[in-house]
Chains A and B, each alone.
Chain A
Amino acid sequence: MTLSKKATCNSHGQDSSYFLGWQEYEKNPYDESRNPKGIIQMGLAENQLSFDVLESWLAENPDAAGFKNKGESNFRELALFQDYHGLPAFKNAMVQFMSEIRGNKVKFDPRKLVLSAGATSANESLIFCLADPGEAFLLPTPYYPGFDRDLKWRTGVEIVPIHCTSSTGYRITASALEDAYHLAHKRNLKVKGVLVTNPSNPLGITLTRTELNLLLKFVDTKGIHLISDEIYSGTVFNSPNFVSVMELLENRKYKDTDVSNRVHIVYSLSKDLGLPGFRVGAIYSNDDMVVAAATKMSSFGLVSSQTQYLLSAMLSDEKFAKSYIVENQNRLKNRHQMLVRGLKTAGISCLDSNAGLFCWVDMRHLLTSKTFEAEMELWKQIVYEVGLNISPGSSCHCDEPGWFRVCFANMSEDTLNLAIQRLRSFVDDISATRNAPRNSSKSTRKKLLSKWVFRLSFNDRERER
């Protein structure tokens, strides 16, 4: 008996190189002592820099952890609590935290917050609420590969790209928006909204006020929705400061208008707090119906009450929350600087960025040709020979070949230095091959060729599907 179309197609997007790189890493993961020649994971946007801060809070607050409230066990209450409205104390703490991250320029109402199992679930639910199968959302490229699964797979909704290019610093322009809208129209797709990630994944840049105003004007004119995925909002480590679209809505021009009901935010604690395993996501909307529908949908992916309780205690500790945000941002800033400088010594530059857990790295000059085939070739070399799992721009739907997303916050400083060293040697080798005179290059090339005979031929191997 056949399965559904959803089960047999590959809209889950997991055949993409983004996920395949992960698989290669799983087979040969770097470990300082046990596998020093293994692949270093730089394709996973995780924030591992501030666990000690969380751990010391836990050590000082044993009750929250141990199912105790004022010394009494509250295990039973937590185990039974499955109200899809969520733990009030937790939602209060979340909105407070979200507000703090936005410099308290925005106040959030906990009743408009809907919890869900991670931003993955939040994004999908929001699309289920806003669009019917066959309708479309516009997304600026490059974008997070997971959106192909989260926004499209089970919802049947389409993504139409808003092309942003390096020549304009990847800024969203009015013409790019209009072009995307018309492209959708040509494909007979009804556009229901725009989804932006702010700060951007994979670019690591925050949207400017100009861009935000442009977006609001666009969705207002077209009468469509705007989803702002702000899961990296707490990772802004340099100016310009983070400006949430919600802040602009406070503005006289948009307050209490229709458009304010069509702007929705997605949030999560996976990046800012570094807790992806806990599956804490949220939708924030000013539209009652969206809140009501999303709340019911959250039944399919609620946040464990055990986790809600722990995090409500942690985030309600205002002093702790404030100091965590500051410390985390400082550490990200330092780590970012380390990578940028290190890459520079290898003659590699990055997009100037002020947020995120990654750099958008320019390796166009290392391509043998300005093609995506060449990008794939380069990527395979970097994964298998250099031993770094980084994400090729094509997996993020980037328009130009040669850009890669490289994560820096999920490893120790030593590992990052090693990664930089490996990349530097690789670049030196390439230069040697390309610049060497014909005769002497033969032996160099032979050496390099044997180095570059892949341990495993990428396309031939049976993939577990």
Chain B
Amino acid sequence: MVRNQDQMLSRIATNEGHAENSAYFDGWKAYDSDPYHPTQNPRGVIQMGLAENQLCFDLVQEWVRNNEKASICTPQGANAFKDIAIFQDYHGLPHFRNAVARFMEKVRGNRVRFDPDRIVMSGGATGATETLTFCLADPGDAFLVPTPYYPGNDRDLTWRTGVKLVPVICESSNDFKITREALELAFKNAQDQNIKVKGLLLNNPSNPLGTVLDTETLQESLNFITEKKIHLICDEIYSATVFNEPGFISIADIIQDNPQCNLDLIHIVYSLSKDLGFPGFRVGVVYSYNDAVVNCARKMSSFGLVSTQTQHLIASMLSDDAFVETFLAESSRRLRKRHEMFSRGLGQVGLGNLESNAGLYCWMDLRRLLRESSFEGEMELWHVIINEVKLNVSPGGSFHCSEPGWFRVCFANMDDETTRVALSRIHKFVLKKKVGVEGKQCSRRELVVSLSFRRRFDDMGMTPRMMSPHSPMPSPLVRART
């Protein structure tokens, strides 16, 4: 094929803005070619790079079984089929918006109220983040984002929008808290480059840290954006994954305590992918306190509406108060238990993780295991973890962490047995490397390490296999044929 075709495609289509060509996809490839299965492939790679919440499907499946009317295709629900199938109003089904607003309120302990008329649909949180960026910033403008941050932000904020991302550097020395100094420094960096900052994006609870923002940080952030007259987007997609104290404080709580603040600057991104575990259903939400943004985002939602079949199901499910209460409590409990199991397991071989109370992952501190304190050293360690320990974890560099040696490891996308297998592999690896064991688990560790690593390069033979790092592989649905 003649490749002068490339000139005929857009810059967006041919640049790297989608951020998917990073070396970090080696982990996915390793998993893809050798996926763990308890009986069929017990030595395979365990997927710990996917932040999915799979702990409560039994509860949901039971609900679905008992609520056949929620599906428009069952005999019980079929009389709604036609009306649902033709409904394409971008305001969304009223009962869907109401149910989502109520759910968001419950997750925040009913301390705040959400107006269903401000609920705007989007193609997942991915679509929501991009839409808000399109509404708030012009090409060349920038958003500030604290590091470490979810890698997808590079694509969602910048790829098609032409907006830039300026990192706010956070450090392990204070547990990666966002400081006023860091915010100011990032703002100044942008100014020095003649880049106009349009807003700040906060992720609360944080991916990859698993921590919640405290009142002080939220208040400081609000003060900062008010002073600078820029927008504040709070991505709260992990809000219901908080399993321990301190509880979740939403930006919605803060603005309630700041009645004089400019609400036109405040916007929330939400989704059901993490809290409920439904990434496949693509339920994203833009919630803005700014009327013009609601209007604009709603028009843009045409590009990523939620299937009405799904809206109908979700509306039914989330309106079931008893189910929601049980689900939230049980999900929290199971996440806490799994987190404890995993943290303890790490602690037993002297590995620490950032103290966290939310999210579907741990932020592991492996700095002392690095052969050298550099990102090359981190990549080396990572390749060892993938190829020898056979765990797909995510290196901190992929989250733009400023310091090498941190790794995000997900624990909610597997059963207890697989968690045990993963932990035993970690134990074997660490003990084999004669790492000194420390009993206590805390956020900063002293590890005596004497390791000899053999450099292993994985020859993955880079075939252009179009693997999407978005689904549990091998999903039976991918193998299915009719």
Binding site for B on A (CB under 8 A): 1, 3-8, 12, 14, 46, 48, 51, 54-55, 58-59, 62, 64-67, 69, 73-85, 87-89, 92-93, 117-118, 120-121, 124, 128-133, 135, 149-150, 154, 192, 223-225, 258, 261-262, 270, 274-279, 287-290, 292-293, 295-297, 299-307, 309-310, 312-313, 316, 464-465
Residues of A close to B84: CB separation below 8 A: 277
C-alpha spacing A258/B1, complex, angstroms = 7
How far is B127's CA from A54's CA once the two chains are assembled, in angstroms?
31
Q: A80-B475, A81-B280 are in contact. Are A54 and B296 (CB under 8 A)?
A: no
Chain B residues near A80 (CB-CB < 8 A) = 52, 54, 277, 279-280, 471-472, 475
Residue of A nearest to B292 (CB): A3
Could you tell me if B88 and A307 are in contact, using CB atoms closer than 8 angstroms?
no
Contact B74 A300 (CB under 8 A): no
The one of B262, B295, B303 that contacts A300, using a Cβ cutoff of 8 Å: B303
From A132, A274, A289, A304, contact of B306 by CB (8 A): A304
Q: Are A278 and B307 in contact (CB under 8 A)?
A: yes
Return B207 CB to nearest CB of chain A, in Å. 16
Interface residues of B in 77-101 (CB under 8 A from A): 78, 81-82, 84-88
Which A residues are CB-close (under 8 A) to B264?
1
Q: Which of B239-258 contact A (CB under 8 A)?
A: none
14 contacts between A and B (CB under 8 A): A3-B293, A4-B135, A4-B138, A12-B296, A65-B72, A66-B74, A80-B54, A85-B466, A117-B282, A279-B306, A289-B13, A289-B14, A290-B13, A304-B281
Q: Which residues of A contact B472 (CB under 8 A)?
A: 80
B425 CB to nearest A CB, Å: 24
Would you list which residues of chain B between 1 and 46 have a CB under 8 Å from chain A? 1-2, 5-6, 8-14, 18, 20
CA distance A65 to B134 in the complex (A): 36
Closest to B481 in A: A89
Among the stretches B60-68, B322-330, B368-376, B392-400, the one at the interface with A is B60-68
Instruction: Report yes or no: A300 in contact with B280, Cβ–Cβ below 8 A.
Output: no
Residue of A79, A81, A149 most packed against chain B (CB within 10 A): A79
Closest to B226 in A: A1
Task: Tell me whether B221 is interfacial, beta carbon within 8 Å.
Answer: no
CA distance A299 to B156 in the complex (A): 9
Q: Which one of B107-115, B212-220, B308-316, B348-356 contacts A? A: B308-316
Complex alpha-carbon distance, A318 and B6, angstroms: 38
CB contact list, B284-338 vs A, under 8 A: 290, 292-293, 295-296, 299-300, 302-310, 313
Contact A301 B303 (CB under 8 A): yes
| Contact between A128 and B160, CB atoms less than 8 A apart | yes
**Contact between B130 and A300, CB atoms less than 8 A apart:** yes
B223 in contact (CB, < 8 A): no
Closest to A122 in B: B303
B136 CB to nearest chain A CB (Å): 6
Which residues does chain B contribute within 8 Å of A3, judged by CB atoms? 135-136, 290, 292-293, 296
Residue from the set A85, A302, A309, A312 with the largest chain B CB neighbour count within 10 Å: A302
B280 touches A154 (CB 8 A): no
Assess the A300–B127 pair: CB atoms within 8 A. yes
Which 9 pairs from chain A and chain B are nearest by CB?
A65-B73, A277-B308, A305-B280, A301-B304, A304-B307, A83-B471, A301-B123, A293-B13, A276-B88
Residue of B nearest to A88 (CB): B478
State how many angstroms separate the Cβ of A221 from the closest Cβ of chain B. Answer: 14
Kindly identify, within residues 435 to 470 of chain B, every residue whose CB is under 8 Å from any CB belonging to chain A. Answer: 466, 468, 470
Contact, CB under 8 Å: B64 / A75? yes
Neighbouring B residues of A62 by C-beta, 8 Å: 73-75
Q: With A and B bound together, what is the CA distance between A293 and B11 in angstroms?
A: 11
B296 touches A7 (CB 8 A): yes
Shortest beta-carbon distance, B358 to chain A, in Å? 20
Q: How far, in Å, is A82 (CB) from chain B's closest CB?
A: 4
Q: In the bound complex, do residue A306 and residue B68 qualify as a contact, i.e. CB atoms below 8 Å apart? A: no
Taking a contact as CB atoms under 8 Å apart, the answer to whether B73 and A64 are in contact is: yes
B137 in the interface (beta carbon within 8 A): yes
Q: Is A4 touching B136 in the complex (CB atoms < 8 A)?
A: yes
Out of A67, A131, A278, name the residue touching B308 (CB < 8 Å): A278
Q: Does B48 contact A (CB under 8 A)?
A: no
Are A149 and B75 in touch, CB under 8 angstroms? no
Nearest CB of A to B10, in Å: 5
Contact A79 B8 (CB under 8 A): no
What residues of chain B lie closer than 8 Å to A312, measured between beta carbons? 482
Interface residues of A, dominant DSSP: helix
* Contact present for B305 and A117 (CB under 8 Å): yes
List the A side residues contacting B10 at CB < 8 Å: 128-132, 135, 192
> In the complex the two chains form, is A82's CB within 8 Å of B134's CB?
no
Q: Does B404 interact with chain A (Cβ within 8 Å)? A: no
How many residues in B have their beta carbons less than 8 Å from beta carbons of A?
93
The reply to whether B134 and A304 contact each other, CB–CB distance below 8 Å, is no
Total CB contacts across the A-B interface at under 8 A: 287
Query: A293 with B475: in contact, given A76-B61, A89-B480 (CB under 8 Å)?
Result: no
Q: B residues within 8 A CB of A92?
A: 481-482
CA distance A302 to B303 in the complex (A): 10
Select which of A84, A117, A277, A292 is within 8 A of B303 by beta carbon.
A117
CA gap between A357 and B3 in the complex, in Å: 41
Q: Check A5–B138 contact: CB distance below 8 A.
A: yes
A76-B54, A279-B307 known; A129+B64 contact, CB < 8 A: no
Say whether B18 contacts A7, CB under 8 Å. no
Q: Which residues of A contact B52 (CB under 8 A)?
A: 80
Smallest CB separation, A4 vs chain B (Å): 5
| A67 to B, closest residue via Cβ | B64
Residues of B within 8 A of A5 (CB): 138
Query: Are B87 and A277 interface neighbours, CB within 8 A?
Result: yes
Given A8-B292, A129-B10, A270-B88, 20 more A-B residue pairs with CB atoms under 8 Å apart are A51-B81, A66-B68, A66-B73, A76-B57, A80-B279, A81-B475, A85-B466, A117-B304, A124-B303, A129-B12, A130-B10, A224-B8, A279-B305, A293-B18, A295-B468, A299-B124, A300-B126, A301-B303, A302-B124, A309-B477
Residues B304 and A1 in contact, CB atoms below 8 Å apart: no
A223–B4 alpha-carbon span in the complex (Å): 11
Which chain A residues border B430 with CB–CB below 8 Å? none
Chain A residues lying within 8 Å of B54, measured Cβ to Cβ, are: 76, 80
- Whether B137 and A81, one on each chain, are in contact in the complex, defined by CB atoms closer than 8 angstroms, is no
B64 touches A73 (CB 8 A): yes
> Do A154 and B300 touch across chains, with their CB atoms under 8 A apart?
yes
Cβ of A1: which chain B residues have Cβ within 8 Å of it?
198, 229-231, 262, 264-265
Q: Does B476 touch A at the CB level, under 8 Å?
A: yes
Q: Are A79 and B475 in contact, with the CB atoms below 8 A? A: no
CB distance from B447 to the nearest CB of A (A): 36
**Which one, B75, B130, B135, B481, contacts A59 given CB within 8 A?**
B75
Report chain B residues within 8 Å CB of A278: 85, 307-309
A93 nearest CB across to chain B (Å): 7
Q: Which of A65, A300, A301 has the largest count of B CB atoms less than 10 A from its CB?
A: A300
The residues of B that contact A46 with a CB separation of less than 8 Å are 86
Known A129-B10, A223-B8, A289-B5: A120·B475 in contact at CB below 8 Å: no
Contact B75 A154 (CB under 8 A): no
* Chain A positions within 8 Å of B292 at CB level: 3, 7-8
- Interface residue B147 (Cβ < 8 Å from any Cβ of A): no
- Contact A304–B280 (Cβ < 8 Å): yes
A4-B134, A80-B471 are contacts. A310–B13 as well, Cβ < 8 Å?
no
